[in-house]
């Protein structure tokens, strides 16, 4: 199967990473055109556009200003090790074996507002440009219109190359809106994680993000190929709920630990 996850706002460009056969993203021309648009914006405009602090706006203005191709080992970082949010804490890429990392390069994709679709070993430079950003561009009013059918087409190409059983959606709603499910050439599997709180099961954002990373890790470590095998996922006390699931939408629960 092929999996998609979201990127993260938090980045890590300083910790040590394993030696990897680094690759280049397939959509760098598109990324370069977006960077050129962002370079024309002042820090104040970036702050308003992204709803971020003046300090963060200044940082990202500097990032857009210094962004340049070609990417290489000294000015960029493998995408899987560049992001550092909750999903990536669950995925814990630093503890994967070389074989598991190679499997990730084949079966894991990161959706990105700037880079479109990234493989784990694709080099990237630091940025912040969330998929939901209303950045006016020659293709439309926001990034969804900028990417159009491109992300879906890229995923279909990779699904066919893998002869994948399905596309496993472990991305957030914001990012998966860039994919057109009806145009996918393979079945789509969605997953929901619910935690028990005060006797009720509900989606708690922090835990759900980490759980999506845990599920990605489970697929990589177990080299899961068929959707049915996903029901065995049991990391950090989650368990499959057949009563709440369908063949296309799997639900996992985690019980509250008594005080």
Percentage with pLDDT > 90 across the chain: 98
Q: Where are the domains of the chain?
A: 2-254
SS3 content of the chain, % helix, strand, coil (to 5): 45, 20, 40
pLDDT score of 135: 98
- Nearest Cα neighbor of 111 from 168, 67, 60, 69 is 168
pTM above 0.75, yes or no: yes
pLDDT of residue 58: 97
Nearest to 22 by CA among 128, 124, 158: 124
Q: Which helix (H) or strand (E) holds 31?
A: helix 28-39
Residue 65 has a pLDDT of: 97
Please state, in angstroms and rounded to a whole number, the distance separating the CA atoms of residues 249 and 259: 32
The answer to whether residues 168 and 3 touch, using CB atoms and an 8 Å cutoff, is yes
- Ranges of the chain with pLDDT below 50: none
Distance, CA of 17 to CA of 42 (rounded, Å)? 34
């Amino acid at each position: 199967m092929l999996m998609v996850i979201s990127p993260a706002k938090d980045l890590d460009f300083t910790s040590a990473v394993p030696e990897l056969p680094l690759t280049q993203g397939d959509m760098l021309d598109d990324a370069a055109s977006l960077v050129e648009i962002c370079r024309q914006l002042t820090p104040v405009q970036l702050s308003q556009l992204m709803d971020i602090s003046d300090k963060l706006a200044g940082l990202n203005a500097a990032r857009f200003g210094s962004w340049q191709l070609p990417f290489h080992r000294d000015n960029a970082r493998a995408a899987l090790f560049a992001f550092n949010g909750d999903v990536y804490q669950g995925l814990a890429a630093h503890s994967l074996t070389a074989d598991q990392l190679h499997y990730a390069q084949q079966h894991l994709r990161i959706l990105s507002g700037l880079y479109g679709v990234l493989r784990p070993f694709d080099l990237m430079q630091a940025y912040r440009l969330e998929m939901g950003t209303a950045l006016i561009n020659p293709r439309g009013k926001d990034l969804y219109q900028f990417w159009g059918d491109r992300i879906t087409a890229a995923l279909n190409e990779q699904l066919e190359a893998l002869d994948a059983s399905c596309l496993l959606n472990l991305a957030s709603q914001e990012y998966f809106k860039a994919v057109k499910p009806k145009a996918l050439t393979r079945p789509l599997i969605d997953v929901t994680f619910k935690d028990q709180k005060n006797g009720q099961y509900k989606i708690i954002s922090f835990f759900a993000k980490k759980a999506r990373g845990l599920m990605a890790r489970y697929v990589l470590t177990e080299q899961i190929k068929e959707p049915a095998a996903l029901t065995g996922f049991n990391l950090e006390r989650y368990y499959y709920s057949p009563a709440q699931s369908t063949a296309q939408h799997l639900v996992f629960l985690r019980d509250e630990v008594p005080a």
